[in-house]
A = this chain, B = another copy of it.
Amino acid sequence: MHQLIGEMFLAAFQNPLLETRHDSAVLEISTGGGDASSPPAFATRASQPPKIAFTTDSYVVRPLFFPGGDIGSMAVHGTVNDLAMAGARPVYLSIAFIIEEGLPMETLWRIVCSMRDAAKKCGVQIVTGDTKVVDKGKGDGVFINTSGIGVIEYDQKIAPQNVRAGDAILVSGDVGRHGMAIMAVREGLEFESKIESDSAPVHEMVFELLKAGIEIHCLRDLTRGGLTSALNEISEAANLAFLVEEKMIPVREDVHAACEILGLDPFQVACEGRFAAFVAAKDSERALQILRANPDGIGACAIGKVTDEHSPMVFLKSAIGARRILDMAGGEQLPRIC
């Protein structure tokens, strides 16, 4: 269904910005361009118009509170991360709530406070908002939309189309934790240690990479559809095949166990604080060191590379050396994880 809808939207709204299939749109803010016959009274013509990133996401996660996070902090992190994936510094956020009648005010207050704290931690300002209330039974507690604006300060093209043969593929930490934290709560699974969501902002790590001059070609957060979706989408957009090694992809023991019980593939389970980075091979080691210096990037690993084969395909080399195609056909999309 998601794919169908995605194609519907691309067909209807086709423009070059949408077609990059990026997490954020990268835009130029030019003032006074339009109407030459009536120049604006107030024109700020920079020699080069500033570039911004713009993104939107709705959050419908259930339950609203889960180990390691809640819908509020997640809605801030998610949008901050989408901006970071375009190499932008997140600056401004909007928040829009759709509240189901009967939601306890204390619940809303907890969520609002969590958003405030997350925004502060991320260094972003919440500058505009909206609230709608729908009748009982026509919503589900609360849905949140956050849209965000970031400023692009580094002249580095970060986009799927920029991926090159030979690029190293890195992940910033262990995968599948957020989705399994949610599923464990929903299914009432008990483990010795609770699985906590990895929900976290990743923009600081991205800046560290940019500041160090790492040649980043593409970034993608491992949200809906997990690592598998991220790799397949980028492979398709770049029209290059990837080869990743199963044993290099970090998955925590308890996440693995929970996935086995529920018949899920950890590579397809959403994270909310992990991303994949495609970097020039020469910078791979240095990039890993930078990521690992950040508390949220301790588990960063190189998991594979971009081949020179011009076909959209992701190959997984198993522990025993067998090669299989890592595609999205197998697993069912987990509903309402984000």
Question: A residues within 8 Å of B by Cβ?
Answer: 1-2, 4-6, 8-9, 12-13, 15, 17-18, 24-25, 27, 29-32, 34, 38, 40-52, 54-60, 89, 91-92, 94-99, 105, 108-109, 112-113, 115-116, 119, 125-135, 137-140, 143, 145, 147, 149, 151-156, 211, 213, 335-336
Contacts and interface: CB of A to CB of B under 8 A. Distances in A.
A34 B1 CA distance: 42
B8 A108 contact: yes
12 contacts: A9-B95, A15-B125, A18-B129, A30-B151, A40-B153, A41-B156, A43-B153, A44-B46, A58-B96, A58-B130, A132-B336, A135-B336
Contact of A55 (B115, B116, B128): B128
Given A92-B25, A131-B2, A153 B42 contact: yes
B31 A211 contact: no
Contacts of A42: 152-156
Contacts of A156: 41-42
A36 to B, nearest CB: 13
Given A108-B8, A149-B27, A128 B18 contact: yes
Given A44-B49, A56-B94, A57-B130, A5 B99 contact: yes
Contacts of A60: 98, 132, 134
